[in-house]
Amino acid sequence: MQAVYDPSLKPLIISYESCTSLEISNNGHSVMVDFEDADDKTVINGGPLEGPYRLKQFHFHWGMKHSQGSEHTVDSKSFPSELHLVHWNARKYATFGEAAAAPDGLAVVGIFLETGEEHANMNRLTDALYMVKFKGTKAQFRTFNPKCLLPSSLNYWTYPGSLTTPPLYESVTWIVLKEPVRISEKQLEKFRTLLFTSEGDERIQMVNNFRPPQPLKGRIIRASFKA
């Protein structure tokens, strides 16, 4: 992607101090952890945003093999996985559903995952995946703070785009962090044990659950840092 450095972009502020995770689930597209979002205690701010956006859920995309899995690429390079932290504009909209249909409704932070040493904080999550192997399953997943999954640098690229799963609303301010996070091969393999299918159905392994990068169609990608 050809990015333009924009010195007017503010630093991204991620305030996840007091978040309340609820449950982990397999929705047939990905594995998702959702959060209590009744107030503004878990928000992102700054960056390209005009106010706070509340954390609603996070989920992952991954490939069958290492060469693909992420929904964004850097200099045409894919990563084995990508984490998406989904937030909504509760200052303007009453519900997540209403925000998802509005052009300034959602802000998604994308984080690339690459393989390397084990990520200690990811174990709590990968160790829970066996409970949501099948589509439609969920389990309680309390006191998990995704702050522990963030890279040390919050330098980012940003552009206006859409959700990558149906209904593909053009409602997302994308904020893709430049610095990837490392997880081990073994941790990544646990994601590949999940299934797209319900219990009792023919088993289809949940892999390649990413949407290939889309043409920008004239949209500008702005960078918060000098290349």
Asked if 179 and 156 touch (Cβ cutoff 8 Å), the reply is: no
Assess whether 29 carries a catalytic annotation.
yes
Tokens of 149: 């999954």
| Cis ω for the linkage preceding 167 (within 30 of 0) | yes
User: Which residue of the set 29, 59, 72, 84 is catalytic?
Assistant: 29
Q: Which residues are catalytic?
A: 29
